[in-house]
C-alpha cells in the first residue's frame, strides 16, 4: 500500500502518475518482501523540496529522505534510494532464511 501526501506542493494528476511510475519498482520489491506500507510526504520550504518516505515491511522499518531544488529530482532520487534499500533488505532476508 502506498500513500502520497503532497503537502504544500501542487501536483496535477499527470504528476501523480509519474510519481507512481517512478515508485513502481519499489512497490514490487516491497510486495515481494511482504507486509509492505509506504508513506510519502512532500514539503516545500523556500526553494527546497523535501520528500520523506516511511517504509514498513516484514523485514523492518526505515526512513528515506531527499532534498532537492525541484520536486521531480527529489522524488527520482528518493525512488532510487528506496529501491536500493528494499533490494538490500530482500537480499538479507533471503540469506537469513537459507
- Quote the DSSP letter at residue 96: H
Burial class (CB in 10 A: 0-12, 13-18, 19+), 19: buried
Average pLDDT over residues 13-40: 93
Average pLDDT over residues 39-67: 94
- Which domains does the chain show, CATH number per domain? 2-90 (3.30.160.100)
Is residue 64 scored above 70 in pLDDT? yes
> Does residue 23 sit in helix, strand or coil?
coil
pLDDT score, position 70: 94
Average pLDDT over residues 31-52: 94
Q: Which three cell numbers stand for residue 95?
A: 540469506
> Does residue 10 sit in helix, strand or coil?
coil
Q: How far apart are the first and last CA of the chain?
A: 28
Tens-place pLDDT, residues 69-89: 999 999 999 999 999 999 999
Q: Which three cell numbers stand for residue 40?
A: 510519502
| Alpha helix segments (H runs only) across 4-70 | 13-22, 24-33
Whole-prediction pTM:
0.89
Is residue 98 scored above 70 in pLDDT? no
- pLDDT above 70 covers what percent of the chain? 99
- pLDDT above 90 covers what percent of the chain? 79
Amino acid at each position: 500500500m502506498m500513500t502520497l501526501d503532497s503537502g504544500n506542493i501542487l501536483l496535477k494528476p499527470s504528476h501523480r502518475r509519474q510519481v507512481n511510475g517512478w515508485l513502481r519498482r519499489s512497490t514490487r520489491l516491497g510486495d515481494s518482501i511482504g507486509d509492505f506500507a509506504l508513506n510519502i510526504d512532500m514539503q516545500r520550504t523556500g526553494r527546497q523540496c523535501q520528500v520523506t518516505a516511511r517504509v514498513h515491511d516484514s523485514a523492518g522499518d526505515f526512513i528515506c529522505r531527499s532534498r532537492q531544488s525541484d520536486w521531480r529530482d527529489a522524488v527520482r532520487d528518493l525512488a532510487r534510494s528506496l529501491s536500493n534499500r528494499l533490494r538490500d533488505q530482500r537480499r538479507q532476508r533471503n540469506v537469513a532464511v537459507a
